[in-house]
Amino acid sequence: MTISDKLLRRPPPEFDLVVLSFLGHFAWEILQAPLFASLSGTDHFIGIAICLKATFGDLAIALAAFWCAAFVGKGRNWVANTGTFAPAVFFAVGLLTTIGLEYFSTEVTGRWAYDAVMPVLPILGTGLSPILQWVFVPIFVLWYMRRLTPRL
């Protein structure tokens, strides 16, 4: 392998996924913090730590969704392909996991609570902001990953 081949070699797609997802999800977590009653009385740095912890959870969801999409997309470079099934699986796994975890954490265990200003879905009571997070951040991530990934 020549030096130019080593320089041109891309990192695994999971690297791009984690870096881009971290940027999007951490920003979203910080911006949506006022919508959570459980964060209203916390110290600034503790609130940042809570948002960082939530971001790591989002990264775990993103990786799980990515690998599910890789399974149905026949490989880890499914982002470069033009099909719609693997991205649909990616979004479905991310959204369903988020809805389930939000419901479990707010309704079952009470780990966190929404503020009165958080719009919630009528049937499940899941906050709208976490749902929108799992629509807009992955759209940005997949769009940028597709730009970074060489076509197969």
Give tens-digit pLDDT for 21-62.
Answer: 999 999 999 999 999 998 888 898 999 999 999 999 999 999
**Chain mean pLDDT for the chain:** 90
CA 15 to each of CA 59, 86, 149: distance values in angstroms, whole numbers, following the listed order: 11, 18, 12
Residue 68 clears pLDDT 90, i.e. is over it? yes
Cα–Cα nearest to 148, from 8, 3, 23, 6? 8
User: Using CA atoms, how far apart are residues 56 and 51, in angstroms rounded to an integer?
Assistant: 9
**How many residues make up the chain in this entry?**
152
The predicted structure's pLDDT at residue 5: 53
* Mean pLDDT (whole number) for 105-118: 91
The predicted structure's pLDDT at residue 1: 56
- Signed CA dihedral, 114, 117, 123, 126: sign only: negative
User: Using CA atoms, how far apart are residues 52 and 69, in angstroms rounded to an integer?
Assistant: 25
Tell me what percent of the residues of the chain surpass a pLDDT of 70.
93
pTM: 0.88
- Provide the 10 A C-beta neighbour count for residue 57: 15
Helix, strand, coil % (nearest 5) of the chain?
A: 70, 5, 25
The predicted structure's pLDDT at residue 77: 87
User: What is the band of 86 on the pLDDT scale with cuts at 50, 70, 90?
Assistant: very high
User: What is the band of 148 on the pLDDT scale with cuts at 50, 70, 90?
Assistant: confident
Cα–Cα nearest to 106, from 90, 94, 118? 118
- How remote is the C-alpha of 23 from its chain's centroid? 10
Residue 97 clears pLDDT 80, i.e. is over it? yes
Query: Cα-flanking dihedrals φ and ψ of residue 66, to 5°?
Result: -60, -45
Residue 10 clears pLDDT 80, i.e. is over it? no
For the CA atoms of the chain, what is the radius of gyration? Answer: 17
